[in-house]
Amino acid sequence: MAENAELIKKADMALSDLSGNGGLLNPEMTDTFLRTLIDSPTIINQCRTVTMNAPTRKINKIGFGSRILKVAPQGTSPYAADDGTNDRYLPAASRSAPTTSQIQLDTKELMAEVHIPYEVLEDNIEGGNIGAGPQGSPGGLHSTIVSMIAERAALDLEELLLLGDSGSGDPYLALLDGWLKRSTAHVVNAGGATINKDIFKAGIKAMPDKYLRNRASLVNFISVDNETEYRDTYAARQTSLGDTMLQGANELRVFGTAIQSVPLMPEAKGLMTNPLNLIFGIQRRITMEYDKDIRARAFIIVLTCRVANQIEETDAVVAYQNIG
């Protein structure tokens, strides 16, 4: 069995890879971090992820807000000048032009500081539990650390992106306004009622018709308890559908839209939108560096990154409030 000093040396060498390239994760490790982060079971793995190369990014939007097809003029002078009076051209007032606008992503810096005691590394490297290779080597230690931090960061990011409120007393949540705070265009007040189909019906009716052309793309994000309660309304039926819902094997749908639970969604709230309408921006230059506190006998790992959020079309979001 290796001496403790040798084990710490191996861990030191493995973790030193984290601070190579000036503390920036190499492309492979960056991809691993982002993949683990985005693939975690949260809203993040469904929303639109925008990789940013600078702290600010503007996203241009273009579209037509009204009908563009008109009745074609049937004039008899095909070579007449377009002077606004001839009968071969559409009148200037009938011609269509796209509307353009911009949304802006402004990143905020986040950091995590993780302390790993020597004895944890000693026990795990010696036992081959952390990143151990075929010979029990610690070569994959940094990969494991990256994955562990990414998995936890996914939950913390969802909390910020969903629940952020610049007026919050929590400094972390006050960093930016989350998707719930930004969703004010269409609000369904459940009036304290227990989750039921009428709440979702009101959400459908509140959504502008142009966004209902593809109902299958819309998702109702609600709390875990409310999803369970609504599933139970189906499970109570003495049918095969009831059995399936009781087992949790089928996706919940209502009025052609999906229902999904979000662990951090407040009990009284919810959102309905196309998940791709929710934007998550992350600046790619992620840093992860380490140091040692020899008196505390611990490794210190510090992660820093910059993130942002936005809603592309605020008009395409329905917010549920006061669900009982």
Please name which of 112, 195, 157 lies closest in space to residue 278, comparing C-alpha atoms. Answer: 157
Indicate the pTM of the whole model.
0.77
Whole-number pLDDT of residue 94: 78
- How far apart, in whole angstroms, are the C-alpha atoms of residue 222 and residue 267? 8
Find out whether 297 and 118 touch, Cβ atoms under 8 Å: yes
pLDDT in tens, 89-132: 777 777 777 777 788 999 999 998 888 888 877 766 544 444 44
CATH class given for the domain over 4-57+103-321:
alpha beta
For the chain, domain boundaries: 4-57+103-321
Residue 218 is given by DSSP the state -
Extract the tokens encoding 284.
């790619």
- Burial letters for 181-192: b for 16+ Cβ neighbours within 10 Å, e otherwise? bbbebbebebee
Question: For 17, phi and psi rounded to 5 degrees?
Answer: -65, -25
> Hey, is 39 helix, strand or coil?
helix
Share of the chain above pLDDT 90, in %: 39
Residues in the chain with pLDDT values less than 70: 1-30, 32, 36-41, 63-66, 76-86, 123-143, 236-249, 284-285
**Residues present in the chain in total:** 324
